[in-house]
Structure formats: C-alpha cells, structure tokens
Amino acid sequence: MKIAIAIIIVMFLPMFTNFVSAAPAQTLPKGYLSWKKSERKVVTDKNSLFYGIHYIYADKKAQSGYLAGNRFAEGSRIVIEFFNIKENPAVDGPKNMIVMMKKDKRQAATGGWLFAGFGADGKPSGLDPVTTCFGCHQKDAAQRDFVISTKKDFKNF
C-alpha cells in the first residue's frame, strides 16, 4: 500500500512541479517601447474591447514570426498600449490599458501563449487569460498561431 502511494506521488510530482513553474510571470518587459511599433489604430466601436487608440509592439522574435506569416518561436513577445479617444481624435488621450502575449509552450490552455492584462500603470490587472482573453484569439486567429494582427499592421516590414 505504502509503495502504491509512493508510486502515485512519484507519478504526479512532475505534473505538480510543472504546474508550479507554469504560473505566469505577470510582468511587462522593460523597453518594449523601443520594439517595432504598429501603425496607429483607432477603433470607434464603443462595444469593442479595443475601443480607443492602440499601438502594437513586437520584439525581435515576434517580428520574425509576423514575417513568417504568423508562426512564432518560443519566447516571442507582443505588447499593446491603449489610449482614450479625446474630442479631437487626432490626439491620443491618456493611456488606459496594456496587454501582452508571450509564446510559452507551458500555457496549453491558451494555445501556448501567456496572456496578461495590465493597468495603465503597468501593474497586473488580474484578468483570467482563459475566460477573458483566449476566446477571441481562438475564434479569429486559430490558423495564425492565435495572433490576430499580421505584418500588414506594421510599417516598413
């Protein structure tokens, strides 16, 4: 009996440690403002989660992924900053939200991407990635490695 229990523990231990190491690191990468930046994107539909003005930033690996037709290597990182629309929509209002995706094969429930949401101050907003984030990405971009934007969203690619 004791042996049986020991065997069960040994069998499940790797799962448990894997689970612990898969706990998402919810921090924004430093220096993302110097990554490749998308065109300014304005969404005027107030029902959209992306209502407002936003810019997408892609690190080196993510740039290669976009160029390969949305096939991203492990570690690729994409960040979006969102801003309010002011009365004069040509000018960005205050920042209101930041989101990030990082390619991380441990995140099996969300297509091998870590999804994370942050406030304008860069602090994690604690959104649940499975229920809050993955649905749209799965629906709109299952054939594009769950990344909805493409290289067309960036200038000079």
Binding site for ligand HEC (CB under 6 A): 41, 49-50, 56, 78, 80, 99-101, 115-117, 127, 132-133, 135-137, 147-149, 153
Nearer of residues 91 and 126 to ligand HEC, judged by Cβ: 126
CB of 3 to ligand HEC, least distance (A): 45
CB of 87 to ligand HEC, least distance (A): 23
Nearer of residues 6 and 33 to ligand HEC, judged by Cβ: 33
CB of 25 to ligand HEC, least distance (A): 14
Q: What's the CA gap between 100 and 98, in Å, rounded?
A: 7
CA 65 remoteness from chain centre: 14
CB of 21 to ligand HEC, least distance (A): 21
Nearer of residues 16 and 75 to ligand HEC, judged by Cβ: 75
DSSP secondary-structure letter at 74?
T
DSSP secondary-structure letter at 88?
S
What is the DSSP track for 26-72?
A: --PPTTGGGSEEB--EEE--TTSTT-EEEEEEE-HHHHHHHHTTS--
Q: What's the CA gap between 93 and 38, in Å, rounded?
A: 18
